[in-house]
Structure 1
Amino acid sequence: MPTAQPHGSWTSPIDAALAASHDGRPEYTGPVGDELWCTEPRPAEAGRRALVRRTADGTTTELPAPWDVRSRVIEYGGQPWAGTERAEGGPLVVFVHFADQRLYAYEPDGDREPWPLTPVSAVGGGLRWTDPRLHPDRGAAGEVWCVLEEFTGEAPTALRRVLAAVPLDGSAAEDRSAVRELSDGRHRFVTGPEVSPDGRRAAWIGWDHPRMPWDGTEVLVAEIGDDGTFHGARAVAGGPEESVPQVQWTADGQLLLASDRSGWWNLCRLDPDTGDTTELCPREEEFAGPLWKIGLVWFRPLDNGLIAVLHGKGTTTLGILDPESCELVDIAGPWTEWVPTLTVRGSRVTGVAASPHSGYEIVELDTATGHTRIIGAPHEDAVDPAYYPEPVLRTFTGPGGREIHAQIYPPRNPEHSGPEGELPPYVVWAHGGPTGHAALVLDLEIAYFTSRGIGVAEVNYGGSAGYGRAYRDRLREQWGVVDVEDCAAVAGTLAAEGTADPDRLAIRGGSAGGWTSAASLTGTDVYACGTIIYPILDLAGWGTDETHDFESQYLESLVGPLAEVPERYRERSPVGRTDRLTVPFLLLQGEDDPICPPVQCERFLAAVEGRGIPHAYRTYPGEGHGFRRATTMIDALESELSLYAQVFGFDRPDVATLELKR
C-alpha cells in the first residue's frame, strides 16, 4: 500500500546521477559495407561523442577518447562522419573532431592514429566541415565532398559556406588552397551534395537569410564534369515559401524530396530534366521535419523501389512506402519517436527510436521478412518501470479556440501517494527551437520529478513542428505571445480541472524554451517560480550580434523586422520587463555558449538586482548550448529540485539547498 506523503517529498531511486547517465541518444547512423556505425553520447567523459562501430558479427568497438566526433557547422552541427569499405586494409572513415573542427581520416583496422585532412584557420571560428561523402575514385588519391563553413572575420556572422572537395592524401592538412570548392557560394546555407547513381549530377539544398530552412529552401542540381567540377547549377524545386529539408536520388535518376507546399511535409518525386512532380502519398502528416542540423534523414529509397519513411502527426513511426500505389505499411512495435537518421543496407532499414517506456535504441527492420530487432543501445530498465511516468497525450483549447498539443506526466511512484485532498505541483516544460517538438518518449529527467510527486506538462505550443505548416506559422511575429499564452492555457486548465495545484505551478525551458519561461514569468501571474536555462532574454541584443549566424535573423519572422518594429523587441524582452517579475527563479548557463551567450543572463540579472526577487544563477565552464557533462546535469537537476522544494514547501534533504539571493 503506497504511503501518503506530501507531493515533492517522495523518495525515488531515480536520482540526478542516474538521469544524467541516460542523457543523449545515438545519432548519425550509417553503413560502412555491412557494418553499422554511429555516434553515441558519453556524459561521464566530459560529454564527448564517441564514434561507434558495429560489425556484422555484432562486435562493438569505438574510437576512444580524446576523439570527440561532432561538427560545429551552424553551431548545431550535422552529419560528422562518413565511411567506405575497401578491398584491402579494412574500412576508411573520415570524421570531424570537435576540439579543432578539422576533418580526420581513420583506418580502424590499422595501427595508425587518425590523421588530419584539413588545416586550422586562425580567422574567427576557423574552418568547419559537415555532411561528408567519400569519393575514393575522385582525384589522384580520392576526395571527401562536404560542406565547408569558413570564417572570414571575427564576427559570428563573418563567414561563408560552400560545397568543397578535400583530398584524402592529406595534402590539404596544412594548405587551405588544396581544398577544391565545388559550389559558387550563391546561398548562405547549403547541405552536402547528393551524387546521382550515374555520377553525373549532384543535388543539394540551399537557403538564405532571413529565411530559416523550415520557411523556404531551394533544391539545386548541377552537372559534374569529368574533372569533378560542378557546372550549370540550377534550382529545380522549392522557393521562398516552400520548405524542402531533404533530397535523395532514386536508382533511375529521379529526385525524391519532402516538400511542404501542401501545408505538410509530404514526399514527391521530381524529374530534374522536365520539372514534372508527382506526389507519392499525400496526407495530413509530416514525412520530414525542421532542418536544425545538416544531413538529417527522414527517408531512404530501397533497392527494390520501395521507400523507408519516418512519418506521423505529433508522434512518428517508421513505414515502408510503395511509391506507385501509395500503400504505406508501418513497423510493429512500441516506438513513438524516431530520430531523422535512417540507414538502408540491402533489405535492412536501421533507425534510432524511443517510446514512453524505453530510451533511444538502434532498431533494425528487415523488409524481406518483416522482422524487427534491437541491434544497439538496447533499453535496460535502471529501476522498476513502476517509477516511470505514464504520459497522456492531450489537446487543450487556447485563446480564440485554437488547439494546443501537450503531453501530461502525472506524478507516479509505487511507494507513495499524495495526502488526501492535496493536489500535486506541476512544472510546464517549454521546448527549445521554438520550431522544435517535445517528443513522447521516456525521459529520466521527467521521471526524476514525477517519481518525487511533481507533475510535468510538456507543451507543443503554437509554432511547434509535427502538426503542419499552419501550426508552425502561428508563431510568426508572435513569439513571446502565442507560446506564452499556450503554456499558460495548459497550466490553467490543469489547475481548473483539479489535476494541478493552482498555487504550485512552475515553468522551465532551455534556449527558446528559456525565453518562453522568462517571458511567462515577466508577463503572466500563472507561475509561482521558474527555471530558465541558457535563454534568450534580450531580443535586440540577440537579434544583432549576440548569437551565431544561423539564427541571427530568425527574429525577423518570429518577432518582425527589427528596423520596422523596434518597440516590439523592447516590449517583449524579459530584460526590459523585470519590474513585472515577482516570483523566484533559477538561471542556468553554460559559460561557452555561442548561441545564447552569458551576456544575456548577466544583463537580466543586472536589471533584477536590488528588487528583492529570490533567485540563483549557476554557470558551468566548458558547457555550450545544451548541457553534455554528467556533473553539470546533476548539479542543474538538483538545483532545480531545491528551488521547487523551497517555493512549493516540501522537504528534500537528499539535495543541497540552493542559495537564493535577493
Structure 2
Amino acid sequence: MGELEQTLEYGAWPSPIDAALAAAHDGQPDAVGFVGDEAWWTEPRPTEGGRRALVRRTADGTPRSVLPAPWNVRSRVMEYGGLPWAGVMRPEGPLVVFAHFADGRLYAYEPDAPGAEPRPLTPLSSVGGGLRWVDPQLHLDRGEVWCVLEEFTGDKPGDVRRVAVSVPLDGSAAEDRDALRELTEARHRFVTGPRLSPDGRRAAWIAWDHPRMPWDGTELIVAEVTDDGTFRELRTVAGGPDESVPQAEWAPDGGLLYVSDRTGWWNLYRDGVPLCPREEEFGGPLWRVGQRWFAPLENGLIAVVHGKGAGRLGVLCPDRGEVVDTAGPWTEFAATLAVHGSRILGVGAGAHRAYEVVELDSRTGRARVIGAAHQDPVDPAYYPQPRIRTFTGPDGREIHAHIYPPRHPDHTAPEGELPPYVVWAHGGPTSRSPLVLDLEIAYFTSRGIGVAEVNYGGSTGYGREYRNRLRERWGVVDVEDCAAVALALADEGTADRDRLAVRGGSAGGWTTAASLTTTDVYACGTIIYPVLDLANWGAEETHDFESHYLESLVGPHAEVPERYVERSPMEQADRITAPFLLLQGLDDPICPPAQCERFLARLDGRGIPHAYLAFEGEGHGFRRADTMVRALEAELSLYAQAFGLNVPGIPTLELNK
C-alpha cells in the first residue's frame, strides 16, 4: 500500500471519471477512406444530437469537419446502416457523396467550391421507411454512383426490397425515381454494393436470403458488365447455405479476393485458393453493409484485420502466406480499412487507448495516429488493468472473458472485503466484446465496482464452432456462460457472491432479462433496449434484417412454439425477484418500446423494485450525451442501492414497486 493510499469501501472511491466524461468519449471513428491523398472518416458527436460528422485531414495535417450540424453522415439501410459515403479528388477539389440520416437521401457535395451546398441525388418516398442508401462507389467515367437501394413498398417492416442501383451524378434522379437504373433484378433479399473489376468488365457482390443471417450463409455473385452498364451472366462463385462470405474485393491485377469460413474460420481466398490458412479470423459478422476486414494494395500485398478473439492490423504477403502485424499500442482494429499507394488507414484501439484513426505505411512499417487521437482525459492510473481469462462452463466448455478489477491510484478497500462485480453481456448476439479502453467501464472500476465482459458461446472471433454453440440455444448458453463466469469469480475470491449484477443492451438486454428470470445469481440487473417477447418480436415487431434471426437462435416457431414461451422473459416475468433498471429509446425500430411496456405490465403490483427510463429521440443504441449521462448515473444508483454502497455525487434513482 502506498503512503497516500486511503482505505475506503468498494463503491465509495471518489473518481474523476463522471458520467459526462464517459458520454463525451462514447463512440468511435468509422468508415475510413481516401479522397485523393487525403484521409477521411466519420466521427460521433454526442453533444451535437448524436450525429456522425464527416471529417477530412487536409494537407496541413489538420482534421476538419466537412459538414456542419445537423448534417448526419449515416445510413439506415437494414437499420444498422453501413458505409455511408464515398469521395474522389478532381482538379477542382473533392467530390463526395453521402447518405444523410434525417431524410435517408443520397447527396453530392463539393466542399471546396465557393458557396457550395449539398445537393440531393435521390428522391424522397412517403411509403413506409422511404428510400435508403448504403455502400456507395463513385464511377466518374460513367457519371454515376453505384450503391445499394433499400426501398419500402408498404408500411410493414417486411414490405421492402433491396437492389444494386446506379444513381446519376447530375441530379436527374433527385425528383424522379425512374431516373435510377437498377443494376440487377431484386433476386435476393439482401445485397452488398457491387465492386467493379479493374478492367470494368465484371462486378462482384454478396447476397443472402431469409431465414439465413449473413454469418450463416451468403453467396458471392459475379456478373459480366455490358457496354451499356447492365449486368448479365450472373453466377455464384463461392458461398452457400452453410458458408459465410462477408467481403469480396478485386485485386489490382483482376483476381477476385474474398473471405470465407468454409473451413470453420473466416480465411482469405483468391479465386478459390486460400492465401493464409489459419485457425483465426480474417473476417467477421456482416452487421453493416460495406464493412472491410481486408484491402488489396497496388503492389500485391493485402492489408488485413485478423486474429483469434481480437482483430490486429497486419500486411499479408499472398506469395508467402505470411502476415506482418503493425507495431504499436493497438491490439484491436475495427472492420474498416482503406488503402492508397502504400498507405493503409484503419481504426485501432488498445486496453489503455480509445479508438483512433491509424495510418500505416506498408513500405516502412511505420504507423501513426492521424485522427481522433486518444488523449487521456484523466490520469491513466484510474483506468482498469484488464485480464484476458478463459473459464470452464457447463459440459467443460471454454468461455472467453475480459475481467476488469476495481482500480484506483489513491484508494484501496478494507482488508477482507470483496468487490462487487457487474457481468456485461454484449449485443448481437453474434458479436463480441473487444478488449479496448471504455470509459463506461472505467466509470465503475474507478469507484470500486469490477466488470466482467463475457464473450459467451455464440460470440464471434473464435471460429464457427464456437459461434454455432448458440444455435437454437439462445437464452440458455449465453445465460449459463455469464453465470458460470460470475460464480467462478466469486468462488476464487475475486468477487463478492452477494454483490453480483448483470447488464447488457439489445441481445445483451435479452441475456440480462433472461438471467434475472431463470437464475438466482444476481442481486440486480440493468436491461437496455432489450428483446423481451420472442413470439412477437421476430414475427411482428422488429425490422426486416433480423425478422428471421430467431429461427437459428431459438428454432422455427411453428416447430418449437414451446421454446418461445419457456425462454421469453415476457412469459417468465413472474420469476423476477431482483431489482432492475430498464432503459429504452422511444424511436427504436429494432427493439420497440412496446415490449418494455408489456413486460412492466406483467410485473405490476408484484412489489419488485424497478425503474423504467424511456428517452425520446433515441433509437437502438444511445447517441446523445444527455441520455448517456442520465442512463449511466441511474445504473450506478441501482448498484448502490442493491449492493448497499455509499456512492457520492450521483442522483438517487427512484425505484418503483
The match for 2:345 is: 350
Query: Is 1:625 matched with 2:634?
Result: no
Please tell me whether residue 58 in structure 1 is matched to residue 53 in structure 2. Answer: no
Q: Where does structure 1 lack aligned partners over 5 or more consecutive residues? A: 271-276
- Work out which of the residue numbers 421, 430, 443 in structure 1 matches 2:425: 430
* Structure 1 equivalent of residue 641 of structure 2: 646
| CA deviation vs aligned residue, 1:245-291 (integer Å, no higher than 9, x gap) | 00010122111111000000001111xxxxxx211110000000000
Match status 1:92 vs 2:95:
yes
Does residue 418 (structure 1) correspond to residue 374 (structure 2)? The answer is no
2:247 is aligned to 246
Aligned residues: 652
Match of 1:517 in 2: 512
| 2:345 and 2:360 in contact (8 A); partners too | yes
Give runs of aligned pairs for residues 484-523 of structure 1, distance below 5 A.
Answer: 484-523=479-518
Equivalents in 2 of 1:524, 1:336: separation in Å?
Answer: 35
d(CA) in 2 for partners of 1:417, 1:157: 54
In the other structure, the counterpart of 1:192 is 193
Q: Does 1:145 align with 2:146?
A: yes
Confirm or deny: 8 A CA contact 2:357 2:369 kept in the other structure: yes
Paired position in structure 1 for 2:123: 119
Greater shift, 412-421 or 456-465, is seen at 412-421
Match of 1:13 among 16, 24, 27: 16
Task: Please state how far the C-alpha of 1:650 moved relative to its aligned partner.
Answer: 1.2
Structure 2 partner of 1:108: 111
Give the secondary structure class of the aligned counterpart of 1:522: helix
Q: Does 1:83 align with 2:84?
A: no
Cross-structure match for 2:170 = 169
Structure 2 distance, partners of 1:105, 1:6, is: 57
Mapping 1:275-314, distance limit 5 Å: 277-314=272-309
| Residues 358-398 of structure 1, C-alpha deviations (whole Å, 9 max, x = no match) | 11111111111111111111111100000000000000000
CA distance in 1, matches of 2:210, 2:59: 44
Structure 1 segment 352-371 matched on structure 2, within 5 A? 352-371=347-366
Deviations 1:84-111 (A, max 9, x none): 1112x21110000000000000001012
Please give the alpha-carbon distance, in whole angstroms, between the structure 1 residues aligned to 2:52 and 2:252: 33
Match of residue 382, structure 2, among 380, 387, 408? 387
Q: Is the 8 A contact 2:14 2:648 kept in 1?
A: no
User: CA shift at 1:619, angstroms?
Assistant: 0.5
Calculate the TM-score normalised by the size of structure 2: 0.99
Aligned twin of 2:204: 203
Equivalences for residues 599-618 of structure 1 within 5 A? 599-618=594-613
Q: CA deviation at 1:651?
A: 1.7
From 30, 33, 40, give the equivalent of 1:30.
Answer: 33
- Tell me the C-alpha RMSD between the 2 structures: 0.7
Q: Distance in 2 between matches of 1:351 and 1:164?
A: 28
Deviation string for 1:477-522 (max 9, x for gaps)?
Answer: 0000000000000000000000000000000000000000000000
Asked whether 1:39 is paired with 2:42, we answer: yes
Distance in 1, matches of 2:34 and 2:585, equals 34
Match of 1:373 in 2: 368
1:28-55 per-position Cα deviation (integer Å, ceiling 9, x unaligned): 0001110111110000001000011112
Distance in 1 of aligned mates of 2:58 and 2:184: 36
1:434-469 Cα deviation digits (max 9, x unpaired)? 001100000000000000000000000000000000
Give the Cα separation in 2 of the matches to 1:472 and 1:361: 28
Give 3-state SS (helix, strand or coil) of 2:467's partner: helix
Letter in 2 for 1:11: P
Cα distance between partner residues in 2 of 1:620 and 1:578:
23
CA shift digits 1:9-38 (9 cap, x unpaired): 110000000000000010000011101111
Q: How far apart, in 2, do the equivalents of 1:84 and 1:653 lie?
A: 52
Partner of 1:321: 316
The separation in 1 between residues aligned to 2:363 and 2:237, in whole angstroms, is 34
Contact 2:33 2:338 in 1 (8 A): yes
CA distance in 1, matches of 2:368, 2:63: 16
Using the alignment, how far apart are the partners of 1:2 and 1:530 within structure 2?
31
1:605 is paired with a residue whose SS is: helix
Q: Which residue of 2 aligns with 1:160?
A: 161
Aligned counterparts of 2:636 and 2:243: Cα–Cα separation in 1 = 43
Identify the match of residue 472 of structure 2 among 477, 480, 485: 477
More displaced stretch, 55-64 vs 287-296: 55-64
Corresponding letter in the other structure for 1:85: M
4+ runs deviating over 4 angstroms: none
1:452 to 433, 444, 447: 447
Which letter maps to 1:135? H
Indicate the SS of the match to 2:631. helix
Q: In structure 2, the residue corresponding to 1:576 is in which secondary structure?
A: coil
Local SS of the residue matching 2:556: coil
Write the distance in 2 (CA, Å) between the matches of 1:561 and 1:105.
Answer: 44
- Say yes or no: does 1:236 pair with 2:240: no
- Which amino acid letter does the alignment assign opposite residue 17 of structure 1? A
Q: Give the Cα–Cα distance (whole angstroms) in 1 for the partners of residues 560 and 487 of structure 2.
A: 31
* CA distance in structure 2 between the partners assigned to 1:631 and 1:56 by the alignment: 35
Query: 1:599 and 1:409 mapped to 2: Cα distance?
Result: 35
1:440 matched to 2:435: yes
Distance in 2 between the 1:324 and 1:368 partners?
17
- 1:61 shift after superposition: 1.7
Are residues 1:401 and 2:391 paired? no
Q: CA–CA distance in 2 between the matches of 1:223 and 1:2?
A: 70
Q: Is the 8 A contact 2:12 2:648 kept in 1?
A: no
Q: Percent identity?
A: 73
CA–CA separation in structure 2 for the residues paired with 1:372 and 1:32:
20
- Specify the SS of the correspondent of 1:574: coil
* C-alpha displacement of 1:59: 2.7
The whole-number CA distance in structure 1 between the counterparts of 2:323 and 2:383 is: 33
Deviation for aligned residue 1:57 = 2.7
For 1:544 and 1:609, how far apart are their aligned partners in 2? 26
Which residue in the other structure is 2:75 paired with?
71
Deviation at 1:241, TM superposition (A): 0.3
Partner SS, residue 521 of structure 1: helix
CA contact (8 A) 2:311 2:334 kept: no
State the distance in 2 between where 1:315 and 1:147 align: 30
Q: Which runs of 5+ in 2 are unaligned?
A: none
Aligned to 2:529: 534
Superposed CA deviations along residues 603-648 of structure 1, whole A, max 9, x for unmatched, are 1101111110000000100000000000000000000000000110
CA shift, 1:537, in A, is 0.3
Cα displacement (A) at 1:652:
2.3
CA distance in 1, matches of 2:349, 2:218: 30
SS of residue paired to 2:468 = helix
2-structure distance, mates of 1:93, 1:241? 38
Distance 1:579 1:68 in 2: 43
Q: TM-score, normalised by structure 1?
A: 0.98
SS of 1:38 mapped into structure 2: strand
Shift of 1:60: 2.2
* Structure 2 counterpart of 1:50, one-letter code: A
Q: Alpha-carbon deviations, 1:561-616, whole Å to 9, x = none?
A: 01111110011000111121101000000000000000110111011111100000
Provide the residue aligned with 2:266 in structure 1: 265
